[in-house]
Structure 1
Amino acid sequence: MRQQESEFMTAKEDPTTFSVDLTNCDREPIHLLGAVQDFGFLVAVSFDWLIQRVSANIESFTGRSVDDLLGAPLNTLLGDNVIHLIRSRLQMLSSEDGTEHVFGIDFLSNGRKFDVSLHVSGSSIVIEAEPSDTHQTVTPGALVRSMSGRLQRTPSTRDLFEESVRQLRSVTGFDRVMLYRFNTDGAGTVVAEALRTGLESFRGLNYPAADIPTQARALYVRNRVRTIADVRAEPVPVEPALDPSGEPLDLSMSTLRSVSPIHIEYLQNMGVDASYSISIVIDGKLWGLFALHHYKPRRLSMEMRNATELFGLMISLMIEGKLAREQRAAEEKARELHDRFVGKLMSLTPSVSDLSNFAGDLRDIIPSDGFAVWADGLVKSYGKTPPDDAMPALARFLNRAAASRVYSSDELGAVYPPAKEFEQDAAGLLAIPISRSPRDYIMFFRQELVQTVNWAGNPQDKKMGYGPNGPRLTPRKSFEAWQETVRGKSRSWTDAEKKASEALRISILEVLVKFTEETSRQQAQSQQAQELLIAELNHRVRNILALIRALVIQSKATATSIDDFSDIVSGRIQALARAHDQITDEKYASQKLSEIIQTEVDAYIGGKADRVRLTGPNILVSPKAFSILALVFHEMVTNSAKYGGLSDSRGQVFVDWQIHEEDGCVIRWREEGGPAVQRPSRRGFGSTIIERSIPHDLGGEAQLTFKLAGLQARFVIPHTFIDYVEHNHDGLQSGLEQPIGSHGGQNGTSGLRGSGRMNASDGLLLDGMNALLVEDNVIISLDAEQLLESHGTSAVFVGANVKEARRILDEQSIDVAMLDVNLGIETSFPLVEPLMERGIPFVFVTGYGEQIEFPESAGPHVEAVKKPFSEDDLLSALRRAIERSRAA
Structure 2
Amino acid sequence: MTVSHSAHLGHEAARAPSTVDLTDCDREPIQHLGRVQSWGGLIAVNADWIVRQYSVNAPKMLGLEFDDLQGRLLTDLLPHAAHKLIRHQMASLENFDQNLRLFGLQLSADGGLFDVAAHRTPDGFILEFEPKRTGRHVSDLSLVQPMIQRLAQENDIGVMSEIAAENLRRLTGFARVMVYKFADDGTGQVIAEALAPSMSGYKGLRFPASDIPAQARALYKRSLLRLIGNVDDPGAAITPALNADGKPLDLSLAVTRAVSPVHLQYLRNMGVQASMSVSILNKGELWGLLACHHPEPLLMDYERRTAVELFGQLFAYELARTETAQENEAVLRGQDTHNRIMSLISSSSSWEENFDTIANIVQQRMPYDGIAIFSDGHYMSRGSAPSETEFHELARFLNTATGSRVYCTHHLGAVFPPASAFVDRVAGLLALPISRRPRDYLVLFRRELAQTVTWAGDPTKPVNTSGPNTQLSPRNSFSLWRQVVQGESQPWSLSEQRAAEALRTTLLEVVLKLTDQAEKDRKQAQERQALLISELNHRVRNILNLIRSIMKQSSHDAMSLEDFTQALDGRINALSRAHDQLTQEQYAPVALSDLIGVEATAFGLSDQARLVFEGNDIVITPEAFTPLALVFHELVTNSVKYGAFSSSNGRVHIAIHEAQDGSYVIGWTERGGPVVKAPKRRGFGSTVIERTIPHEMHGSAEVHYHSAGLEAAFTVPSNAVVRTQPFAAAADPLQAVKTTPPRVGVGIAHVDGPVLVLEDTMIVALDLAGMLEDLGSSDVRTCATVDEAFEILQSGFTPALAVLDVNLGGETSLPVAEHLAGLNVPFLLASGYDRNEAGIESYPPSELLRKPYTSSDLASTLCSLGFVQGA
- Specify the alignment match of 1:59 in structure 2: 59
SS at match of 1:349: coil
Q: Distance in 2 between matches of 1:518 and 1:376?
A: 16
Q: Deviations over 1:524-568 (max 9, x none)?
A: 35536755886799899999x99xxxxxxxxxxxxxxxxxxxxxx
Aligned to 1:111: 111
Aligned to 2:90: 90
Query: How far off is 1:392 after superposition?
Result: 2.0
Check 1:510–1:216 CA distance in 2 against 1; reply closer, same or farther (3 A cut). same
- Which residue in 2 is equivalent to 1:291? 291
Per-residue displacement from partner, 1:206-225 (whole Å, max 9, x unpaired)? Answer: 00111111111111011100
Deviation at 1:306, TM superposition (A): 0.6
Could you say which residue in structure 1 is the equivalent of 2:846? none
Q: Distance in 1 between matches of 2:151 and 2:270?
A: 30
**What is the identity percentage for the equivalent residue pairs of Structure 1 and Structure 2?**
42
TM-score, normalization: structure 1? Answer: 0.56
Alpha carbons 1:337, 1:364 under 8 Å: kept = no
Aligned twin of 1:215: 215
2:334–2:503 Cα contact (<8 Å) kept: no
CA distance in 2, matches of 1:69, 1:90: 21
- Name the aligned partner's letter for residue 386 of structure 1: P
Q: Any idea what SS the aligned residue of 1:511 has?
A: helix
Q: CA deviation at 1:342?
A: 2.1
Cα 1:356/1:188, change in 2 over 3 Å: same
Distance in 1 (CA, whole Å) between partners of 2:408 and 2:189 is: 23
Mapped partners of 1:122, 1:37: distance in 2: 23
SS at match of 2:68: helix
Query: What is the Cα deviation at residue 351 of structure 1?
Result: 3.8
SS in 1 for 2:391: helix
Unpaired runs of 5+ residues, structure 2, are: 1-19, 546-871
Partner amino acid, structure 1, of 2:514: F
CA 1:357–1:169 in structure 2 vs 1: closer, same or farther (change >3 Å)? Answer: closer
Give the 5 Å matches for 1:116-515: 116-154=116-154, 156-351=156-351, 354-356=354-356, 358-460=358-460, 462=462, 464=464, 466=466, 470=470, 472-473=472-473, 476-477=476-477, 479-515=478-514
2:371 aligns to what SS in structure 1?
Answer: strand
Distance in 1 of aligned mates of 2:223 and 2:419: 43
The residue type equivalent to 2:34 in the other structure is G
1:871 is matched with which residue? none
Give me the whole-angstrom Cα distance separating, in 2, the residues matched to 1:135 and 1:238. 30
> How has the CA–CA distance of structure 1 residues 229 and 469 changed in structure 2, closer, same or farther, with 3 Å as cutoff?
farther
Deviation at 1:484, TM superposition (A): 1.3
Shift of 1:513: 2.4
Match for residue 72 of structure 1? 72
Measured in 1, the distance between the counterparts of 2:433 and 2:352 equals 11
Structure 2 residue identity aligned to 1:172: T
What corresponds to 1:672 in structure 2? none
Deviation at 1:438, TM superposition (A): 2.6
TM-score normalised to structure 2 length: 0.57
Provide the C-alpha distance between the structure 1 equivalents of 2:75 and 2:461, rounded to a whole number of angstroms. 57
Verify the 8 A CA contact 1:374 1:441 in the aligned structure 2. yes
Asked if structure 1 preserves the Cα contact closer than 8 Å seen for 2:42 and 2:127, the reply is: yes
Mind listing any 5+ residue stretches in structure 1 that lack a counterpart?
A: 1-19, 547-888
The offset of 1:328, in angstroms, is 2.7
Distance, in Å, in 2 between the alignment partners of 1:235 and 1:336 is 60
User: Shift in Å at residue 24 of structure 1?
Assistant: 2.4
C-alpha displacement at 1:21, in angstroms?
8.7
SS class of match (2:345): helix
Q: How does 1:743-754 map to 2 (within 5 A)?
A: none
**Cα distance, 1:359–1:156 mapped onto 2, change above 3 Å:** closer
Q: Residue 138 and residue 184 in structure 1: after superposition, are their counterparts in 2 closer, same or farther (change >3 A)?
A: same
CA drift of 1:115 comes to: 0.5
Mark the CA change 1:409 to 1:304 in structure 2 (over 3 Å): closer, same or farther.
Answer: same
Deviation at 1:480, TM superposition (A): 1.0
CA distance in 2, matches of 1:227, 1:514: 60
The change in CA–CA distance for 1:450 and 1:140 in structure 2 (over 3 A counts) is same
Question: How many Å separate the matches in 2 of 1:338 and 1:510?
Answer: 9
- Contact 1:450 / 1:489 at 8 angstroms: preserved in 2? yes
Q: CA deviation at 1:282?
A: 0.4
Q: Which residue of 1 aligns with 2:25?
A: 25
What is the CA distance between 1:163 and its match in structure 2? Answer: 0.8
Question: 1:532 and 1:385 mapped to 2: Cα distance?
Answer: 45
Q: Secondary structure of 2:303's match?
A: helix
Q: Is the 8 A contact 1:331 1:496 kept in 2?
A: no
CA spacing shift, 1:178–1:147, aligned 2, 3 Å: same
Say if 1:92 and 1:180 are closer, same or farther in 2 by CA, change over 3 A.
same
Distance 1:94 1:143 in 2: 29
Separation in structure 2 between the aligned mates of residue 135 and residue 186 of structure 1, nearest angstrom:
41
Distance 1:417 1:336, change over 3 A: same
In structure 2, how many angstroms separate the alpha carbons of the residues matched to 1:542 and 1:22?
A: 92
Question: 2 CA distance for matches of 1:469 and 1:364?
Answer: 59
Q: CA deviation at 1:467?
A: 7.4
User: Is 2:266–2:476's contact at 8 Å kept on the other side of the alignment?
Assistant: no
Distance 2:421 2:535 in 1: 64
In 1, Cα distance between equivalents of 2:211 and 2:487: 24
**1:440-461 CA-partner distances (Å, limit 9, x unpaired):** 2221111222211110101115
SS in 1 for 2:22: coil
Cα deviations by residue, 1:137-158 (Å, 9 ceiling, x for unpaired): 4421111112212222335222
- The 1:526/1:454 distance shift into structure 2, 3 A limit, reads closer
Distance of 1:536 and 1:414 partners within structure 2:
62
Alpha-carbon distance in 1 for matches of 2:66, 2:439: 71
Distance verdict in 2 for CA 1:502–1:475, change over 3 Å: closer
Aligned-partner Cα distance in 2 for 1:353–1:535: 33
Equivalent residue letter for 1:394: L
Task: Supply the distance in 1 between the matched residues of 2:198 and 2:285 (Cα, whole angstroms).
Answer: 35
For 1:2-13, list aligned pairs within 5 A.
Answer: none
2:679 maps to none
| Alignment CA distance shift 1:473-1:51 (3 Å) | closer
Contact 1:374 1:442 in 2 (8 A): yes
Residue 313 of structure 1 deviates from its aligned partner by 0.7
Deviation digits for residues 210-253 of structure 1, max 9, x if unmatched? 11111111110111001111111113221122222222222111
Amino acid at match of 1:488: G
TM-superposed CA distance for 1:196, in Å, is: 1.2
Distance 1:392 1:347 in 2: 28
- CA distance 1:237–1:417, change in 2 (3 Å): same
Could you tell me whether the CA contact under 8 Å between 2:22 and 2:462 is conserved in 1? no
Pairwise CA distance, 1:380 = 2.1
Q: 1:81 to 1:179 in 2, by over 3 A?
A: same
Q: Helix, strand or coil: the match of 1:69?
A: coil
Matches within 5 A, 1:681-760: none
Q: Could you tell me how far apart the structure 2 residues matched to 1:288 and 1:34 are?
A: 27
The residue that corresponds to 2:568 in the other structure is: none
Match of 1:517 in 2: 516
Q: CA RMSD in A?
A: 3.1
C-alpha deviation, 1:172, in angstroms: 0.5
**Conservation of the 8 A alpha-carbon contact between 2:434 and 2:442:** yes
| 1:184-213 C-alpha deviation (Å, 9 max, x unpaired) | 211110001111112221111100111111
Q: CA deviation at 1:475?
A: 5.8
| 498-507 vs 80-89, greater mean Cα deviation | 498-507
- The CA distance in 1 between the partners of 2:189 and 2:437, in whole Å, is 43
Which amino acid is the alignment partner of residue 276 of structure 2? Answer: Y
Residues 468 and 59 (structure 1), Cα distance of their counterparts in 2 relative to 1, 3 Å cut: farther
Native 8 Å contact 1:120 1:126 kept in 2: yes
